[in-house]
């Protein structure tokens, strides 16, 4: 069995935080023996997040929050990183032991022309790991060579863009938020506004996404703009729900999978459409110009 207790990789982990006192210890401990450095970029938390983080050997920075992409890119532009590799992770996520072991086994064998590493992200919702339904698990580019990657500048569903080849390493990064369901719902109300803003701002990026063929997340973005959003408004969430719950076998994940699919697909996507319609009306009535939509309040 591979010992991961004293094998830190030449890797810096960036954790984005805001009021994450329930999650930050778990996240840091999952990184402590795999990452040489841990950096926290905090959005001026009002709870005990930083008090807990200071108990560990982490470096803390603060920056006003606009969206996740901006926070990641602020860190890449303003912090001097000395490790060869970078890892981006949210505070409510953590690395499994299997993933850490596979990273340790693979890191020293990575070809020098590799710039990014895709790992498998899985959602755990109401104590249930979601293994079906299309949303979870999914592949996400989270590790890249220092200086060769940045976060695309979008309001939602941000991805790391790298220069060079990408490989996949098996093992799971778990997304498990420990807050209440009502908190989850309130968070997604804000996300729905940001997603609607993204809908308008990302129209011009369709060709860019189609060209990035080595990143499946980018191909999905192209399909979302060029296929999903071409479907009739308010009907497309129903079509997406049927696709995920039946064709992508979401029904195999029990009542948690059903609830997640209803909330994440039907309810949330319907709310996104409501906000898209609101913004279209604002533009049509000359109360807001297209280049001003990014100023709409959502946080």
Indicate the class that CATH gives domain 9-175: alpha beta
User: Helix, strand or coil for residue 83?
Assistant: coil
Is the confidence at residue 6, as pLDDT, over 80? Answer: no
Local confidence band at 285 (pLDDT 50, 70, 90 cut-offs): confident
The whole-chain average pLDDT of the chain stands at 90
Q: Which residue has the higher pLDDT, 159 or 269?
A: 269
Please give the pLDDT value at position 91: 98
CB 270 within 8 A of CB 249: no
Do β-strands 114-125 and 9-17 pair in parallel, antiparallel, or remain unpaired?
Answer: unpaired
Instruction: Give the chain as a 3 state SS string.
Output: CCCCCCCCEEEEEEEEECCCCCCHHHHHHHHCCCEEEEEEEECCCCCCHHHHHCCCCCEEEECCCCCHHHHHHHHHHHCCCCCCEEEEEECCEEECHHHHHHHHHHHCCCCCCEEEEEEEEEEEECCEECCCCCCCCEEEEEEEECCCEEECCCCCCCCEEECCEEEEEEEEEEECCCCCHHHHHHHHHHHHHHHHHHHHHCHHHHHHHHHCCCCHHHHHHHHHHHCHHHCCCCCHHHHHHHHHHHHCCHHHHHHHHHHHHHHHHHHHHHHHHHHHHHHHHHHHCCCCCHHHHHHCCCC
Percent of the chain residues topping a pLDDT of 90: 74
This prediction's pTM: 0.90
Task: Express each pLDDT in 77-96 by its tens digit.
Answer: 999 999 999 999 999 999 99
- Where in the chain are the domains? 9-175, 181-295
Distance CA 134, CA 53 (A): 34
Q: What are phi and psi of 201, to 5 degrees?
A: -75, -20
pLDDT tens digits along 150-209: 998 888 888 899 989 999 999 999 999 999 999 999 999 999 999 998 888 776 555 555
List, for residues 98-144, the tens digit of each pLDDT value.
999 999 999 988 999 999 999 999 999 999 999 999 999 999 999 99
Give residue 290's pLDDT: 60
Read off the tokens for 193.
């506004």
As a whole number, mean pLDDT of residues 268-277 equals 96
What are 200's two structure tokens?
């308008």
């Amino acid at each position: 069995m591979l010992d991961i207790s004293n094998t830190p990789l030449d890797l810096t982990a960036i954790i984005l935080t805001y009021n994450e006192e329930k999650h930050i210890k778990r996240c840091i401990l999952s990184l402590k023996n795999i990452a040489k450095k841990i950096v926290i970029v905090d959005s001026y938390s009002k709870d005990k997040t930083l008090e807990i983080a200071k108990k560990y050997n982490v470096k803390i920075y603060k920056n006003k929050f606009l969206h996740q992409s901006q926070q990641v890119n602020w860190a890449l532009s303003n912090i001097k990183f000395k490790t060869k590799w970078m890892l981006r992770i949210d505070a409510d996520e953590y690395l499994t032991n299997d993933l850490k072991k596979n990273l340790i086994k693979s890191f020293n064998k990575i070809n020098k022309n590799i710039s990014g590493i895709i790992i498998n992200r899985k959602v755990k919702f109401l104590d249930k790991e979601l293994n079906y339904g299309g949303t979870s698990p999914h592949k996400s580019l989270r590790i890249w060579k220092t200086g060769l990657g940045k976060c695309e500048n979008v309001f939602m569903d941000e991805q790391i863009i790298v220069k060079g080849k990408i490989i996949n390493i098996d093992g799971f990064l778990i997304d498990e938020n420990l807050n209440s369901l009502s908190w989850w719902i309130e968070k997604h109300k804000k996300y729905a506004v940001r997603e609607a803003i993204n809908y308008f701002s990302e129209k011009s990026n369709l060709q860019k996404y189609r060209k990035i063929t080595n990143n499946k997340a980018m191909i999905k973005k192209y399909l979302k703009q060029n296929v999903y959003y071409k479907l009739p408004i308010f009907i497309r969430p129903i079509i997406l729900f049927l696709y995920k719950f039946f064709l992508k076998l979401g029904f195999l994940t029990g009542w948690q999978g059903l609830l997640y699919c209803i909330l994440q697909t039907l309810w949330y996507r319907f709310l996104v459409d409501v906000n898209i319609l609101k913004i279209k009306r604002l533009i049509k009535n000359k109360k807001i110009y297209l280049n001003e939509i990014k100023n709409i309040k959502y946080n």
